[in-house]
Structure 1
Amino acid sequence: MGWLGWTEEQTLRADVNAILVGLDGRGDMISSVLRAVFGEDPKLAIEITAQPITEDYFDAMFAVE
């Protein structure tokens, strides 16, 4: 019944935690199928740049006058 594929009786007897776990499991299953069909997502390289926070930089970021 519905997105989780449960019967009506299973659905009516389930508490909130069971529904959340079932939903999470169904999402994992769908993700696994999509990865098997289309392959893994490409990993995007994130460049982290560190800029020291000076008083002027802080004022510019937070619009302090």
Structure 2
Amino acid sequence: MGWSEEQALKSDVNAIEIAYLGRLQMLRSIFGGGEDEPETKKPDRQAISTGAQFDAMFGVA
């Protein structure tokens, strides 16, 4: 995305995801290819992690 390490570490997850999707869109516009459906349509995606999901990801017992 062209960010410095400091910028990336200070950004929240939503900002990183929006920047990533924007970069994908730019690259697809320049080089073509990819999906026909926009990346932003992800109906099965859960927006917020629960405590149980966090524990499972990081192996907390």
TM-score normalised by the chain length of structure 2: 0.49
Compare the two structures and name the one with the higher helix fraction: 1
TM-score normalised by the chain length of structure 1: 0.46
